[in-house]
Chain A
Amino acid sequence: MGVAAAESQFHVLAVDDSLIDRKLIERLLKTSSYQVTTVDSGSKALEFLGLQENDSNTPHETSVCPKIHQEVGVNLVITDYCMPGMTGYDLLKKIKESSSLKNIPVIIMSSENVPSRISRCLEGGAEEFFLKPVRLSDVSKLRPHLMRTKCCNQENEENKCWNQEKQVNIESSEIESQTAAQSNNKNKRKAIDEGISPDITRPRYNGHSLVSNHL
């Protein structure tokens, strides 16, 4: 199976209030064969992920969320930092506080290189911090994080944790035991991560010249 075929199964949710930047990130990700959904705010991102606004305060209601999450199947969230209303950092916190979403890797993008902001996001659980404008070379850094979630999902399926028909009334205790199962698999996952073949060498496009198109 080709690498591109495997990657096309990865679904990335991109969040940015700027239309230009949504177009850009969408093309960047699609060029790399990812499935992409774009939204223009943090609250729409949470809605898409199936998280209710009061989710983190009422643990019993989270029971319905893993199902929604599973249906949407988002493997990674990439979000702008500076947005009106909910910032990228707020969105990161909401995702990491939610029992159903916390395993989704989050990447933050910002046009401003503010060290305190970067460390705050990384400490808050972000996997990467990209300076805007995001480039093709940045997108290649997504793969290790995606492979990690992919491995989790496959293990879940193998363990029959997510039987589509039986999960309608899944109890919170089951979510917890499943999370425990995931952490037990950490070493296994790490081994898989290390086995990932290095990126296909992509030429860097810092210079500029014109050739007739032969693609």
Chain B
Amino acid sequence: MELNQMQRSFLEYTDALFREGFLDSQFSQLYQLQDESNPEFVIEVVSLFFEDSERLINDLSSALDQPDVDFKKIDAHVHQLKGSSSSIGAQRVKNSCITFRNFCEVQNTDGCVRCLQQVKQEYLLIKSKLEALFQLEKQIVAAGGSINMVDSMN
């Protein structure tokens, strides 16, 4: 694929992710912080998000599996997941976390179990979409191009 064409695909793909609510403007903020001195900043931060989310989702699964559910502990995990998803702009994961915390507050175990499934699903979705996006980014960089998201008003 030609460089221009790859860059156009990248744009179309990210636009779709924003339009469908997978990502919010925080994700474009990340690209503002990526430059020649930090060419892999976005991939690094998002990889940390993947590690963090997988650890927290596992912790949540085992916490919800206990006979005596510790809602305070669950809330702390969900709070962390909400924080890291909002820091990278993974909007749908963040929104699922907000619902999750509401069920946690009223100590609704069934609701929490359903929310965990929802969070897991949203996480796996955004993960595969971002991995595809980074694949494209790497091809663009390998072809000598770069990624630069700017305000569409400019």
Per-position binary interface string of chain A over residues 193-215, scored 1 when its CB falls under 8 Å from any chain B CB and 0 otherwise = 00000000001111111111111
Q: Do A212 and B148 touch (CB < 8 A)?
A: yes
Stretch at the interface among B45-53, B61-69, B111-119, B123-131: B45-53
Q: Known contacts A20-B49, A20-B52; decide if A210 and B88 are in contact (CB<8 Å).
A: no
Binds B, one of A128-136, A158-166, A169-177: A128-136
A27 touching B154 by the CB < 8 A rule? no
Q: Which of B18-69 touch A at CB < 8 Å?
A: 18, 25-30, 32-33, 35-36, 38, 41, 44-45, 48-49, 52
Q: Do residues B152 and A208 form an inter-chain contact, with CB atoms below 8 A?
A: yes
Q: Are A208 and B148 in contact (CB under 8 A)?
A: no
CA distance A133 to B30 in the complex (A): 11
- Nearest neighbor of A136 in chain B, beta-carbon distance: B32
Q: Please tell me if B146 contacts chain A, counting CB pairs below 8 Å.
A: yes
Given contacts A20-B87, A27-B41, contact A208 B82 (CB under 8 A): no
Docked complex Cα distance between A28 and B29 (Å): 10
Interface size, B (range): 35 or more
* Separation of A27 and B82 alpha carbons in the complex (Å): 21
CB-defined interface of A110-144 with B at 8 Å, one 1/0 digit per residue?
A: 01000000000000000000001101100000000
Q: Is A188 an interface residue when CB atoms closer than 8 A count as contact?
A: no
Contacts of A210 in B (CB 8 A): 7-8, 10-11, 14, 147-149
Q: Which residues of B contact A86 (CB under 8 A)?
A: none
Closest A residue to B3 by beta carbon equals A212
Give chain A nearest CB distance to B101 CB in angstroms. 10
How many contacts A-B (CB < 8 Å)? Answer: 105
Q: Knowing A18-B87, A136-B29, say if A213 contacts B145 (CB, 8 Å).
A: yes
Residue pair B45, A23 in contact (C-beta under 8 Å): yes
Tell which of A18, A24, A205, A208 has the most Cβ of chain B within 10 Å: A208
Contacts of B86 in A (CB 8 A): 111, 132-133
Chain A contacts of B28 at CB under 8 A?
205-208
Chain B residues contacting A204 (CB-CB under 8 Å) are 151
Q: Decide if A23 touches B48 in the complex (CB within 8 Å).
A: yes
Contact A18 B11 (CB under 8 A): no
Closest chain-A Cβ to B21's Cβ sits at a distance in Å of 13
Asked if B14 and A20 sit within 8 Å, CB to CB, the answer is no
Q: Is the interface of B mostly helix, strand, loop or mixed?
A: helix
By the criterion CB–CB under 8 Å, are A205 and B32 in contact? yes
CB-defined contacts of A208 to chain B, threshold 8 Å: 14-15, 18, 25, 27-28, 149, 151-152
Query: CA separation between A21 and B41, bound complex, in Å?
Result: 13
Q: A19, A111, A207, A213: which contacts B151 (Cβ < 8 A)?
A: A207
Cβ of A183 < 8 Å from any Cβ of B? no
Whether A31 and B33, one on each chain, are in contact in the complex, defined by CB atoms closer than 8 angstroms, is: yes
With both beta carbons as reference points, the residue of chain B lying nearest to A19 in the complex is identified as: B48
Contacts A211-B150, A212-B7 aside, 13 further interface pairs with beta carbons under 8 A come to A18-B87, A23-B44, A31-B32, A31-B35, A132-B83, A133-B87, A135-B29, A203-B154, A206-B25, A209-B151, A210-B8, A211-B148, A213-B148
Shortest beta-carbon contacts, A-B, top 8: A207-B152, A210-B11, A213-B146, A208-B28, A213-B148, A209-B152, A27-B33, A207-B151
* Contact sample, A vs B, 17 pairs, CB 8 Å cutoff: A20-B52, A111-B83, A132-B83, A135-B29, A203-B150, A205-B149, A205-B151, A208-B28, A208-B149, A208-B151, A208-B152, A209-B149, A209-B150, A209-B151, A210-B148, A215-B35, A215-B36
